[in-house]
Amino acid sequence: GAKYVKDGFNIPFETLLGFGGDKVPDIDLNFSGEYQAKAHRHTFELFGESHVFRAGTIGTVAEKTAFGYVKKYLDERGMHVTRAEENRLAQGCTGVKRTTGQHPGGMVVIPQDREIYDFCPVQHPADDPNTDIVTTHFEYHSMESNILKLDMLGHDDPSMIRMLEDLTGMDAKTIPLDDPDTMSLFKSSKALGFENDKILGPTGAVAIPEFGTSFVRGMLLDTQPEQFDILVRLSGFSHGTDVWLGNAKDLIVEQGIPVGQAIGCRDDIMIFLISCGMPEKRSFKIMESVRKGRGLPDGAEEEMKAAGVPDWYIESCKKIKYLFPKAHAVAYVMMAFRIAWFKAHEPLAFYAAYFSIRAKAFDATCMCWGMDTALAKMREIQAKEKGASAVEQDMLTTLEVVYEFYLRGFTFAHVDLYASHATLFQVDKEKKALIPPFTAIPGLGETAAWSIMEQREGKRFISIEEFSAACPKVSKTHIEQLKAAGALDGMPDTSQMNLFDGF
Query: In the chain, how many domains are there?
Result: 3
CATH number for the domain including 47? Answer: 3.30.1900.20
pLDDT digits (tens, 9 = 90+) for 238-270: 999 999 999 999 999 999 999 999 999 999 999
- Within 13 Å, how many C-alpha atoms sit on residue 145's CB side? 2
Residue 31: phi, psi to the nearest 5?
-120, 160
Residue 337 within a domain: no
Per-residue pLDDT, 502: 52
Burial label for 195, CB within 10 Å (0-12, 13-18, 19+), is exposed
How many residues in the chain? 503
Axis crossing angle, helix 228-239 with helix 214-223, rounded to the nearest 10: 130
Which DSSP state fits 354?
I
Per-residue pLDDT, 499: 54
Residue 58 within a domain: yes
The verdict on 149 and 170 lying in the same domain is: no
The verdict on 60 and 145 lying in the same domain is: yes
Residue 334 within a domain: no
> What's the mean pLDDT when you consider all of the chain?
92
Q: Which helix (H) or strand (E) holds 469?
A: helix 464-470
pLDDT over 70 percentage in the chain: 99
Domain that holds residue 350: 346-484
User: Which residues have C-beta within 8 Å of that of residue 387, sequence separation ≥ 6?
Assistant: none
Per-residue pLDDT, 183: 98
Residues 377, 366 contacting (CB under 8 angstroms): yes
Residue 115 within a domain: yes
Residue 140 within a domain: yes
CA distance 353 to 340: 12
pLDDT digits (tens, 9 = 90+) for 196-222: 999 999 999 999 999 999 999 999 999
The verdict on 83 and 217 lying in the same domain is: no
The verdict on 269 and 378 lying in the same domain is: no
Per-residue pLDDT, 501: 57
Q: Calculate mean pLDDT across residues 91-120.
A: 91
pLDDT digits (tens, 9 = 90+) for 271-330: 999 999 999 999 999 999 999 999 999 999 999 999 999 999 999 999 999 999 999 999
pLDDT digits (tens, 9 = 90+) for 349-375: 999 999 999 998 899 889 999 999 999
The verdict on 396 and 295 lying in the same domain is: no
pLDDT at 488 over 70: yes
The verdict on 400 and 464 lying in the same domain is: yes
Where helices occur in 369-434 by DSSP H, the ranges are 371-384, 390-407
CA distance 276 to 418: 66
pLDDT at 174 over 80: yes
The verdict on 165 and 299 lying in the same domain is: yes
Residue 312 within a domain: yes
The verdict on 143 and 165 lying in the same domain is: no
pTM for the whole structure: 0.86
CATH number for the domain including 296? Answer: 1.10.150.700
The verdict on 83 and 212 lying in the same domain is: no
CA distances from 224 to 108, 261, 423 (A): 42, 15, 37
> Which of 272, 296, 327 is at the close of a domain?
327
